[in-house]
Chains A and B, each alone.
Chain A
């Protein structure tokens, strides 16, 4: 028998939107507008920069963020307080993107813990390259996806995927 749902998809989508906007505005200085919520789609994610961070716990899962190299470089440059052209080491972009996902994941985790979930964060894993494809575990089927767009029309895709049905 499945446990009772304590966090709905709608709430999860709100947690994600609130956390992404707060981190992007206060630490990255880029305003991002959330677009429609969608259920997690399929078992693969494609992109140029893909970051994953696992949640361990009774109903563990992961947070995933993917975007293009241009926006990822802007994120890193803004966080470091430099121009995009000054960003020379790809490790700086990877480190900054990992930290953004870490902060968003931490915020989402805090809200889920308040709902009664038992979760711990792992460390972010950043992959970057051309036409990357990341395969996700098939049992991470419950959750939400949401794309955020900045003023230049660049998109940042985020997903929260968990085992189970939102029972914490």
Chain B
């Protein structure tokens, strides 16, 4: 058992850090997929369902908000999406949530914060 996770971030370093943060938070991963931008993220979703998506905000080709919109258009309310961003303003959070995000992780973050955010969203 474990969760299928998709990490979407143009930084390979951040993808590794996020994955490590999830593992350090004690959340078991059965399948880890990675994508470098929103376009690749949509392609990764075509390979099968995931339990949660963690997506960066600022990415080339398709940014995080556009990616959330596309996922919601195509797949509805599932899977839950956590935005990863340096932005922490109320305006940004409101916009991300209005597009269909379920939570956000502000960089820099600790494994405890990953656990709080991801753990509160996963069943």
Contacts and interface: CB of A to CB of B under 8 A. Distances in A.
Nearest to B91: A113
Contacts of B20: 81
Interface string A76-115: 1001110000000000100110110011011101100100
Contact of A79 (B17, B58, B60, B109): B17
A123 interface: yes
B11 A95 contact: yes
Contacts of B16: 79-81
B60 A107 contact: no
B2 interface: no
Nearest to B107: A103
A37 B16 CA distance: 34
Interface residues of A, number: 23
Contact of B87 (A23, A106, A123): A106
A22 interface: yes
A23 B13 contact: no
B89 interface: yes
Contacts of B107: 27, 103, 106
Contacts of B109: 26-27
